[in-house]
Structure formats: structure tokens, C-alpha cells
């Protein structure tokens, strides 16, 4: 089976030490990316660790496909104990970092410990350097990029960084790469901030060799380059009008199901501001959205659909330039646009300020620096809904993505059972529901669909394959050829990733009571029973110890 190659690099930022560990046995079982990181996190992060404490470990990882030249592979994974959900969370980002990362010779880098001073970590194929950077305290992400280019002659594709939000431990702070690409969900920027790490760079010339069939790579590349796909023009915003008209676009903090000003923020509005093409590393699909407003001079990348929802319809804001400004501020300060936008929408609901884009932009900055009401909003909806007097639209502490589970109910069920909460990418059940392959209403048969799509997503995130390519371009047949294993075998193997995440969260006290939604779905409890039975879990939503022992059999890694 195809899998990533190389050793685990552990960096203790408190002592400045770096150690390498042979993980060949784990790599052969868990492929790379999210699978590899989850297996190591389950073993090496104490179950009672503080997400913002020195014992938490943050993993950056790639899969075997980051050592290819194939489209849809310019991505990386990050995994840690989340300060937002209090459970294990994985998130991934695109851009141009992944190839520079694997050039260090490591498929995975583990950050542990904590440092009293603000530092930058340089990972090279010949060693690790920890640099004190007090001058970067509270610096924005672009300011970190400027420093890196000026002092180290390194372009932004070599770095990850946090903004002020990460330093100030905002629960949904991101880790940013290439300035505008985010390891977005779960607050992993705050994990780096708690460790005193402002940025990490990666460079080298020690990429392990992995043989992949050239003809398959080129066929995917040609298909990506020549396909007439609306996403090349409008990114994920291409479906905004369709979702608003046919399903639901959450509006004014989930109080309405459609937005009357959708024309001002939809894919065509975004496309009207797009001024050039952009892509991720090695990708011919080029779906990124560099946008510019000529009148104000504002430039940003995006917004994508989730940001159009979180800073547009859900806040009652109908001008794409206002949404672009919110997007840019989140990138500058290092904030997840979904959680930040929903948290601000909750504030607007509480103060009857829907549509006040100027206030929104002020609140983004206050959140990043935890100033005034920003200090409250930095905690996220789960922590503040009572004080604001609004409904708690989150699952396991994570704010909802745009795809409304009250309407596409399999997706709603998937939010409830997802180990990382209300994130749409954990099980993209929304796709067959939007496409009409399955009825969006009701939960009959949905637990099996959710389970299968959870495992497929785990395979995608272990490979690593961009979600935009997994169904139509990097098809199951392509994956079978690349990985030299039947697709269903690979999917079944990646079920283990879901179960290790669940078991980790179980050890932190999470069970059936956490698989909950802020709204009712017909037949929910029966569907929950069916989902647990399909997985072989206990009726209380916990994973049997025997199952975990089977998934973690083999030699443990030394610390």
C-alpha cells in the first residue's frame, strides 16, 4: 500500500531540542496526513491534557501524494487537542507549503512543550533552529511574511504563522500559510500561541522518493486543466444562489432560511471582483479567487462560500466588498472565518445590529486583540450564547458551517456525530443530498451514508487529496491505482481514524450526550442507535477498549 515515508520529527520548543523517531510500522497502517497524525496524537497526547498547556502536541503532516506532481495534492494536515471543542481536531490547508515541508525529509512534525519567549522555529533537512523573535509580538500574518523575506530570504510558501489572534489565545484562531490559506477550524493557532511559537519555516532537499504511475498523474492533471467547471471561475461560491433558492442559506443568525440580498454576495458577485487566476501547488484546476475592488483598492483571496455565509447572509450583510473586507481582516489577524463570523452574528442578533458591516469589521479586530466585547466573542458561541441571550448554534463547541442540517438532514445528523463538531468537511453527506442522489429529508438510511463518507473523508485527508478533486477527478479507480489497494479496503482501514478520534474524546468525557443538535430531527435517536451499532460502538457513544487495542497494536513510539 502507498504511504508516506520518513521519520517523525519532534521539536520541544521549551528546551529547543529536536529528535527523530522511526515510525515505519505506523506509516504502513495509517498512510500519512490526518491518519498518521491521529494515531500519534492518540498515543502521545495525555488524555487529560490542557489544550493550551505544554503537554498538548500539534502535528503538521503530509501524505504520500504530496510527493507527486498531480493536481489536487497541494495540501497539508494539522492535528491537535482543540481549545474550541476540547477534543482532538484535524484541519487542512492548501497553498504551496506541502512540497517544501516534505523536502525536510519528514512526513510529520510534532510541536510540544512551551516557551516563555516568542519564537520562530526553522525546520531544515540538516537540523532545527529556534529563533527568539520578540519584535514580532502581536504582528499580523503579513508582517511575519515581511520579516521572513527580509531576515531569512524565505518566501511565504515556506512558512506557517499565527497572527495576534493566536497569541491572544482566541479559541478559533487559525494557523496561516501563504498568508491567505488557513488551517482553519478548531483553534490550532491558539495552540501555537500558547506554546509561544509565532511561525515555523520548512526548507530542504531531502524529499523521500515515492514511485507513482506517471500516466495516472498526467491524466488527472489534464482533466483538471481542461474541465469546464464553474468552480474554476467562482470557487465554492458557485453554488450560493442554488443553495439559497433550493435548500437553505442560514440568514441573520439562523433565524431565516434564505437571504433576499443573495445577488450581492453570490458567485457572480465574487467573480466580478476576481482579477487573476490562482491555484495550489502543482494544481491545474486553479479554483482560487484573488479578488480586488477597484473603488477601495481592497485586495484579498476569496471569499469562499463559507465566508460568504458567515460574514454575509448570517450577518445580514449583502455587499460582497464588505464580505471581502471581513475575509481579509480574518486572514491578517489569523481567525477562522466560520467561527468568527458566526460568533459575531450571535452578537449582532443580541444587539439588533444585523447588516452593520462597519461594526463587524471593528469586532474582528477587537476579537483578535481580545479588546472590550472582543474578549467575550473570542471564546466562541458555545461559551457566550447564555450571556448574549441567543441560541447555541454549535456542536461540541464548534460553530456551524453553512449547509443547514435542518433542511439537508443527513448533513445535520453528520454534524451531531462528527468528532470535531459542526464542520461540513468531516462527512460531506451534503453532496449526495444536494445532488439528489438521496432524499435530503429524513434520516432513513443516513447513518450508513454518514459512516461511509466519514471514512472516505479520512482517506482523503490521509492521502492527502483536495476535497474538490476527490469525486470527479481523483476517482476511486484512480485511488486504487495510486495506492495499489482496493478502494473499499482503503476506506475500511480509514474507519480506524474515526474510532481513534472518538476514543480520545471519550477519555475526555465525551459520549452520546455530546452528539446533539440545537434543533430536532425526526427519528434522531433511532438513527443514533443505528450509527453506533453500525460502528460496533457502545450504546452510550463510546468505543470499546478492545477495538482501540486492535487499532493501536504494535510498538509504541518513544517520546
Q: Which CATH number is 8-203's, of 2.60.120.10, 3.30.1300.10, 3.60.9.10, 3.30.70.1560?
A: 3.60.9.10
Secondary structure percentages of the chain, helix, strand, coil, to 5: 45, 15, 45
Q: Could you report the per-residue pLDDT of 436-476, keeping only the tens digit for each?
A: 999 999 999 999 999 999 999 999 999 999 999 988 999 99
Q: Could you report the per-residue pLDDT of 271-328, keeping only the tens digit for each?
A: 999 999 999 999 999 999 999 999 999 999 999 999 999 999 999 999 999 999 999 9
Q: Which CATH number is 227-399's, of 3.40.50.300, 1.10.569.10, 1.10.760.10, 3.90.110.10?
A: 1.10.569.10
Lowest mean pLDDT among 261-270, 357-366, 474-483, 550-559: 550-559
418, pLDDT greater than 70: yes
Which pLDDT band, with edges at 50, 70 and 90, does 553 fall under? confident
Query: Which SS3 state, helix, strand or coil, does residue 324 take?
Result: helix
The pLDDT score that the predictor gives to residue 498 is 97
CATH number for the domain running over 409-478+510-545: 1.10.599.10
Residue 229 grid cell: 467547471
End-to-end, the C-alpha distance of the chain in Å comes to: 27
Residues of the chain within CATH 1.10.599.10 domain(s) are 409-478+510-545
Q: Could you report the per-residue pLDDT of 335-367, keeping only the tens digit for each?
A: 999 999 999 999 999 999 999 999 999 999 999
Across 409-423, average pLDDT = 98
The pLDDT score that the predictor gives to residue 554 is 65
The pLDDT score that the predictor gives to residue 279 is 96
Residues of the chain within CATH 3.60.9.10 domain(s) are 8-203
Write out the H or E segment, with its range, that includes residue 111. strand 108-112
Residues of the chain within CATH 1.10.569.10 domain(s) are 227-399
Across 489-513, average pLDDT = 97
558, pLDDT greater than 90: no
Backbone angles phi, psi at 5, to 5 degrees: -130, 155
CB 442 within 8 A of CB 409: yes
Tell if the pTM clears 0.95, that is, is over it.
Answer: yes
The pLDDT score that the predictor gives to residue 471 is 83
Q: Could you report the per-residue pLDDT of 378-407, keeping only the tens digit for each?
A: 999 999 999 999 999 999 999 999 999 999
Amino acid at each position: 500500500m502507498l504511504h508516506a515515508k520518513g521519520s517523525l520529527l519532534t521539536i520541544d520548543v521549551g528546551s529547543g531540542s529536536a529528535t527523530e523517531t522511526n515510525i515505519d510500522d505506523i506509516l504502513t497502517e495509517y498512510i500519512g496526513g490526518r491518519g498518521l497524525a491521529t494515531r500519534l496524537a492518540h498515543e502521545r497526547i495525555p488524555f487529560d491534557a490542557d489544550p493550551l498547556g505544554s503537554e498538548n502536541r500539534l502535528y503538521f503532516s503530509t501524505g504520500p501524494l504530496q510527493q507527486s506532481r498531480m493536481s489536487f495534492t497541494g495540501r497539508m494536515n494539522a492535528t491537535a487537542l482543540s481549545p474550541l471543542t476540547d477534543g482532538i481536531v484535524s484541519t487542512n490547508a492548501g497553498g504551496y507549503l506541502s512540497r517544501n515541508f516534505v523536502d525536510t525529509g519528514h512526513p510529520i512534525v510534532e510541536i510540544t512543550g512551551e516557551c516563555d519567549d516568542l519564537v520562530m522555529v526553522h525546520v531544515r533537512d540538516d537540523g532545527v533552529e529556534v529563533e527568539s523573535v520578540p519584535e514580532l509580538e502581536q504582528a499580523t500574518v503579513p508582517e511575519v511574511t515581511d520579516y521572513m523575506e527580509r531576515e531569512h530570504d524565505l518566501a511565504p510558501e515556506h512558512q506557517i504563522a499565527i497572527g495576534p489572534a493566536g497569541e491572544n489565545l482566541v479559541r478559533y484562531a487559525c494557523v496561516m500559510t501563504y498568508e491567505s490559506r488557513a488551517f482553519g477550524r478548531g483553534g490550532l493557532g491558539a495552540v501555537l500561541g500558547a506554546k509561544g511559537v509565532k511561525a515555523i519555516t520548512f526548507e530542504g532537499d531531502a524529499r523521500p522518493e515515492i514511485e507513482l504511475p506517471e500516466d495516472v498523474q498526467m491524466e488527472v492533471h489534464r482533466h483538471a486543466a481542461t474541465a469546464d467547471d464553474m468552480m474554476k471561475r467562482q470557487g465554492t461560491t458557485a453554488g450560493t444562489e442554488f443553495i439559497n433558492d433550493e435548500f437553505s442559506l442560514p440568514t441573520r443568525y439562523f433565524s431565516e432560511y434564505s437571504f433576499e440580498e443573495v445577488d450581492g454576495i453570490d458567485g457572480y458577485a465574487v467573480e466580478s471582483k476576481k482579477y487573476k487566476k490562482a491555484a495550489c501547488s502543482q494544481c491545474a484546476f486553479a479554483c482560487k479567487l484573488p479578488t480586488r475592488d477597484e473603488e477601495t483598492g481592497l485586495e484579498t483571496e476569496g471569499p469562499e462560500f463559507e465566508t460568504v455565509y458567515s460574514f454575509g447572509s448570517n450577518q445580514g450583510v449583502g455587499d460582497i466588498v464588505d464580505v471581502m473586507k471581513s475575509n481579509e481582516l480574518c486572514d491578517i489577524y489569523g481567525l477562522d472565518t466560520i467561527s468568527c463570523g458566526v460568533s459575531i452574528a450571535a452578537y449582532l442578533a443580541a444587539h439588533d445590529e444585523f447588516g452593520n458591516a462597519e461594526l463587524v469589521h471593528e469586532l474582528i479586530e477587537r476579537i483578535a486583540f481580545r479588546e472590550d466585547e472582543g474578549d467575550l466573542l473570542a471564546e466562541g458561541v458555545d461559551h457566550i450564547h447564555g450571556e448574549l441571550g441567543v441560541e447555541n448554534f454549535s456542536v461540541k463547541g464548534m460553530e456551524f458551517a453553512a449547509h443547514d442540517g435542518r433542511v439537508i438532514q443527513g448533513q445535520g445528523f453528520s454534524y451531531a456525530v462528527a468528532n470535531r463538531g459542526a464542520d461540513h468537511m468531516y462527512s460531506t453527506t451534503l453532496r449526495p443530498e444536494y445532488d439528489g442522489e438521496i432524499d435530503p429529508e429524513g434520516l432513513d438510511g443516513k447513518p450508513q451514508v454518514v459512516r461511509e463518507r466519514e471514512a472516505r473523508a479520512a482517506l482523503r485527508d490521509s492521502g492527502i487529496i483536495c476535497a474538490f478533486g476527490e469525486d470527479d477527478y481523483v476517482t476511486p479507480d484512480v485511488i486504487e491505482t495510486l495506492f495499489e489497494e482496493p478502494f473499499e479496503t482503503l476506506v475500511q482501514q480509514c474507519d480506524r481514524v474515526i474510532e481513534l478520534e472518538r476514543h480520545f474524546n471519550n477519555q475526555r468525557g465525551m459520549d452520546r450526550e455530546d452528539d446533539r443538535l440545537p434543533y430536532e430531527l425526526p427519528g434522531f435517536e433511532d438513527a443514533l442507535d443505528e450509527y453506533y451499532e453500525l460502528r460496533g460502538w457502545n450504546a452510550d457513544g463510546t468505543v470499546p477498549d478492545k477495538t482501540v487495542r486492535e487499532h493501536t497494536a504494535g510498538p509504541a513510539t518513544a517520546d
